[in-house]
Structure 1
Amino acid sequence: MVRKGQGRGGSVKAAKRAEVRLPELVAWEGGGLEPDGDYDGVEFTDVDFGGQEGIGARFMDCALRRCGLDEAGLAKARILDSVLEGVRGVGTDLSGASLRDVELVEARLGGVQLHGAVLERVVVRGGKIDYLNLRKARLKDVVFEGCVLVEPDFAGAVLERVEFRDCTLRGADFLGARMADVDLREAVELGIARGVEALAGAVISPAQLYDLAPALAAQLGVRVVP
């Protein structure tokens, strides 16, 4: 799908949205997470994983609903064809993780570490995430929809076919990011703290251009004097 826009050639390629269809799931009756654990077709409901270590774990065709993830160690985890709904937590470590065909719905998270992670066909819908760390991550076919992102860090990340729809970005850091077909036009608030020069490869609306004009002028060394 190609939507008309302001990008190269007058168009921007739309993200391929995740469409997760879960099989019949088995309710989780186990204990805590385990490093390199393998979870297939499991439903976790109201489980508190706070402080547990599941480095390298694999979640396939799973649902995590209203689970607590405070300080959970999930570095290098693989989350595939899964739904995370109403999860909450601060300091969750997902550094170097792989998320593919994942829906993250109405999350309440803070300080999530996703630096160096790979996200492909991921939808983040609703909820609020503070201080999301996506430094040097790779995002492809990712949609942020109706969510609030406070000071998200995309520094050094690679974004391809990423959409921000009806969402709020406050104090975003795009320093050193590389973009291709990134659609920011439908963001209800677009606040960029650093890296406005990295917007090459993105499309914005005329109103957003007006709002970003001071930052763009500063980047070019232009003084605006009345």
Structure 2
Amino acid sequence: MRTHRSPRDLSNLPYAHHLEPFTREVQRKEVYEWIHIDSQDMDDSDRDMSRFIESAFSSVNFNGGRMQHGRFDTVWMHNVRLLGADLTSTTWLDTECRSSLLAGTQLHGAELQRTVFHQCKLDSVNLRGATLRDVAFIDCSLSDVDFGGATLKRVSFPGTSLEQVDFTKGSLAQVDLREVTALGLASGAEDLRGAIINTRQLLDLAPDLAQHAGLTVKDD
């Protein structure tokens, strides 16, 4: 399983000395490198296929708007709010997201690799059909998050609460759930095939697993 990184401050990024303040409007299909977007509202705009490389976002609000097929490559985010934003089929690589809120965010078909979320809240986020590899959700809260049909490999959730999370028809491999603070599923326990759980969690899931297997459990 991946090693859990501690959250980094902006000044600790290896490319911090390259960053330049960026105050212009982000345009679709453009490539942006070494920019720092700070304290901006990026509302209801079309930024499809825009790409960010070794860049930073702090205190940025995405209220609605589109960034389909965009790319975050070695990007740092802090106190970012993605509210109803459409990030369908985006790519996230070596990206860190801290103390941020994703609510009603569309990430259908997204690809996340070597990405970590620290102390983030994900509420009603659509990750159906997404691919997550070497991803960690650390001290986060996930509520009504849909991983239906998604592929998860080497994904961990230390210190994270899962409430009404849906793994229906997902493909799980080395998905570590042992350190979650709550394991609330919207789908059946059988959809956790390929996950790693602890003994206590197994006992909690036993009635659901027995029902799925067609077992009747009686003590008399």
2-side partners of 1:23 and 1:88: how far apart?
22
Q: Which amino acid aligns with 1:37?
A: E
Whether 2:177 is the aligned partner of 1:184: answer: yes
1-side partners of 2:188 and 2:70: how far apart?
29
> How many residues matched?
212
Q: Which amino acid aligns with 2:202?
A: L
Whether 2:155 is the aligned partner of 1:168: answer: no
Aligned to 1:140: 133
2-side partners of 1:138 and 1:215: how far apart?
27
Q: What is the TM-score normalised by the length of structure 1? A: 0.89
Q: 2:195 aligns with which of 199, 202, 211?
A: 202
Whether 2:35 is the aligned partner of 1:48: answer: no
User: Residue by residue, what CA displacement relative to the aligned partner does 1:63-88 show, whole Å, maximum 9, x if unpaired?
Assistant: 01010011121111000001111101
Larger RCO (alpha carbons 8 Å, 6+ apart): 1
Give the number of the structure whose residues are more often strand, by fraction: 1
1:90, distance to aligned residue in structure 2 (A): 1.5
Q: 1:158 aligns with which of 144, 151, 159?
A: 151
User: Residue by residue, what CA displacement relative to the aligned partner does 1:5-37 show, whole Å, maximum 9, x if unpaired?
Assistant: xxxxxxxxx12667963332000121x221112
Q: CA RMSD in A?
A: 1.6
Aligned to 2:107: 114
1:207, distance to aligned residue in structure 2 (A): 1.1
Q: 2:116 aligns with which of 115, 120, 123?
A: 123
Q: Which amino acid aligns with 2:43?
A: G
Q: Identity over aligned residues, as a percent?
A: 34
SS where residue 61 of structure 1 aligns?
strand
Single out whichever of 139-148 and 203-212 deviates more from structure 2.
Answer: 203-212
Q: Which amino acid aligns with 1:216?
A: L
1:52, distance to aligned residue in structure 2 (A): 1.5
Whether 2:186 is the aligned partner of 1:193: answer: yes
Aligned to 2:21: 27
1:224, distance to aligned residue in structure 2 (A): 4.2
Single out whichever of 185-194 and 17-26 deviates more from structure 2.
Answer: 17-26
